[in-house]
A and B are shown apart, each in its own frame.
Chain A
């Protein structure tokens, strides 16, 4: 989610090499490159705009420079706006003066273009502070309304007034307004989102995307280009089939919205827009035959109506998947947190497990020192001492190695597992604790169990939780009553692992609450263990349940399905 384009990054970077200009504010060195990029982009966008002009009108069907300027403002800090607007002037002059338009008109258009970008960017920034990210319905809606509708509308009155004043255009004032509004609305709705979405998602998204996603995108754009060419760029032979053809790009646009995110959708929309206008400019496709004004307006309305819902759909889907991702991230954190809390309970046992090898190492080393000091050294004895030190060291390493994965916070990773193996690993982890609590574990592990598919660490966490609960339940009992029996057996398409203690059991009326978060009978407990254990087991496609005879102990059982069934979790 934390992706920014080079443009955005470089314009944000605060440079120490700033220059204080007399009246405009601070000029930072890092703003220069984006400003130059903007100037080049503005010039190219103006050339594209000229190419999309339906002669003889001076107004293009799609005028991208204004949208480009607005997008640049929205991505830049407000205090850099003056530089961006200034950078657009030379590009504007260079592009416009080639077309033989009077200089006064060229300057007038610069003023109205800047006003459009400024109105849109100011409104959007007032409502959505900071760099605009088209990643929520609210942000996208604000942009579409303020930048896509209000700004072109307001600035068009100024633009048309200037045209009339300078006497360049022919038509009626309101006609001029209308033409310019449609042209600029379309540009704001297609070009600006293209830039904004690519700035927010595009670059990082491209880097992370797997190969199949690239192939999918290629297929989508080829298909979209093909249907758009057929629909909008062929000579219109049969007018009656035209309405159906309007819908031809829709499946591809929906596909893009669902699969490629806002940036992909904005790109797909841009492709449809470009191909449609190209057809109309060359007298091809359905938007021909009427007056240029009529044609332009029909086409602009059509494209606007198509692009707005598609873009919003893509943004909403993106927002949803982000929220879902956030929720799963939080679940992951909670699972990890409760695991670490559980490991905290094990600290005493772990210390015991580490103390044994440490004792071995220290005592052996000090014995060796004494042997050497007494000059009574038996080389064989020394060799034995060193061998024992090494194996003790390896044992300590093993304790650490077993624990390390439990501290890590990773996404669940499913792998083939043997239930008995997981049970043994868990017993290895709690061994010190069991010794200290004086709990005897009896294992009845069935041979040749079906293989499971699951996350090793998460299933260890579940079993650890059940073992520790059992130990806790038996802590008041005498030696005989401190026995935990762990059974595994194959069971209708999976494996059942049972943990039976000889503690005080639980009352039937408490059963449902056992699995609720924050329900606990322990003095020190979060009350999350069983609820998280159950959600882990459920995510593995299995079940976790308990049974108890009050006063005669409790049993908890996990059923986990065999084979690949778990992969769905």
Chain B
């Protein structure tokens, strides 16, 4: 699926003008005349969102929150007719990529959208890698997992064997199988994968 920019504005003229501007810069653009229409199709598509902060009904900030609930992690670029500090701070805190004032300078919008697209692409790569590691982790047997825990803590096979109450030879077999299942060739690779997955689970835990 090609990454595209979703533009949300209740003003048809504004919507068309942003569509043209972003299209002229080479982006694939999808337009939505209301926050509701946009949220109805929100999901895991790649790309980013350009949204007006103040629209009747749902405000841009509320759309941002709704996206988060829908686990749609696309970066959001806000545009606004007013430059009040409170709403811009709130938007940036909630993870907006950029906050642009109307009338939006074309170069700035294009630059903001470009960086949002890049952010989305990188995030997707990371997520993919993580889910790959997560999937591999899931394939391990309980015993292999215990071995993995020992290995990443830097314990020797002998120590692991002693803790698990088994032979060092058995641990060696489990360890080799575990390394193969995890798709890593070295201890360093295993530790990197383990750290990545531990960091995300720790980050998403609270």
Chain A interface (Cβ < 8 Å from any Cβ of B): 348, 351-352, 355-364, 366-368, 370-371, 374, 381, 385, 388, 391-392, 395, 432, 434-436, 438, 440
Beyond A359-B17, A385-B20, whether A367 also contacts B106 by CB under 8 A is yes
A267 to B36, CA, bound (A): 80
CB distance from B32 to the nearest CB of A (A): 17
Interchain residue pairs with CB less than 8 A apart (10)? A351-B82, A356-B14, A356-B102, A360-B16, A367-B106, A370-B21, A434-B56, A436-B54, A436-B82, A438-B54
Residues of chain B within 8 A (CB-CB) of A352 are 54, 81-82
Contact partner of B103 (CB less than 8 A), chosen from A348, A359, A371, A395, is A359
B18 on the A face (CB < 8 A): yes
Q: In the bound complex, how far is the Cα of B18 from the Cα of A368, in angstroms?
A: 12
Q: Answer whether residue B13 sits at the interface, using C-beta atoms and an 8 A cutoff.
A: yes
Q: Which of B23, B25, B55, B103 contacts A362 (CB 8 A)?
A: B103
Residues on B with beta carbons closer than 8 Å to the beta carbon of A432: 81
B-side contacts of A366, CB under 8 Å: 21, 24, 105-107
Binary flags per residue of B107-138, CB closer than 8 Å to A gives 1, else 0: 10100000000000000000000000000000
Contact residues in B for A438 (Cβ distance below 8 Å): 54, 56, 59
The answer to whether B55 and A363 touch across the interface, beta carbons within 8 angstroms, is: no
B81 near A351 with CB under 8 A, answer yes
Instruction: Give the shortest distance, in Å, between B178 (CB) and chain A (any CB).
Output: 53
Residues of B within 8 Å of A364, CB to CB, are: 16-17, 20-21
Pairs of residues from A and B, 3 with the lowest C-beta to C-beta distance, nearest first: A366-B106, A370-B24, A363-B17
Residue of B at shortest CB range from A389? B17
Question: What residues of chain A lie closer than 8 Å to B167, measured between beta carbons?
Answer: none
Question: Of B17, B56, B59, B102, which contacts A367 at CB under 8 A?
Answer: B17
Known: A366-B21, A435-B54, A438-B59. A361 touches B103 (CB 8 A): yes
User: B11 at interface (Cβ–Cβ under 8 A)?
Assistant: yes
- Report chain B residues within 8 Å CB of A358: 102-103
- B184 adjacent to chain A (CB < 8 Å): no
B56: nearest residue on chain A (CB-CB)? A435
Chain B residues within 8 Å of A368, by CB? 20, 24
Given known pairs A367-B20, A367-B24, the reply for A360 and B14 (CB within 8 Å) is yes
Chain A hits for B81, CB < 8 A = 351-352, 355-356, 432, 436
The answer on a CB contact under 8 Å between A363 and B82 is no
Cβ of B156 < 8 Å from any Cβ of A? no
Alpha-carbon distance between A366 and B82 when the two chains are bound, in angstroms: 22
Asked if B14 contacts A435 (CB within 8 A), the reply is: no
- Which of A356, A381, A434, A436 touches B11 (beta carbons < 8 Å)? A356
Asked whether A356 lies within 8 Å of B13 as measured between CB atoms, the reply is yes
Nearest chain A CB to B166 CB, angstrom units? 62
CA distance A358 to B103 in the complex (A): 6
B18 touches A363 (CB 8 A): yes
Q: In the complex, which residues of chain A have a beta carbon less than 8 angstroms from the beta carbon of B56?
A: 434-435, 438, 440
Q: How far is the CB of A35 from chain B (nearest CB, A)?
A: 67
C-alpha gap A434/B10 in the complex (Å)? 14
What B residues does A440 contact at CB under 8 A?
56
Min CB–CB distance B73 → chain A (angstroms) = 25
Which of chain A's residues have a CB closer than 8 A to the CB of B107? Answer: 366
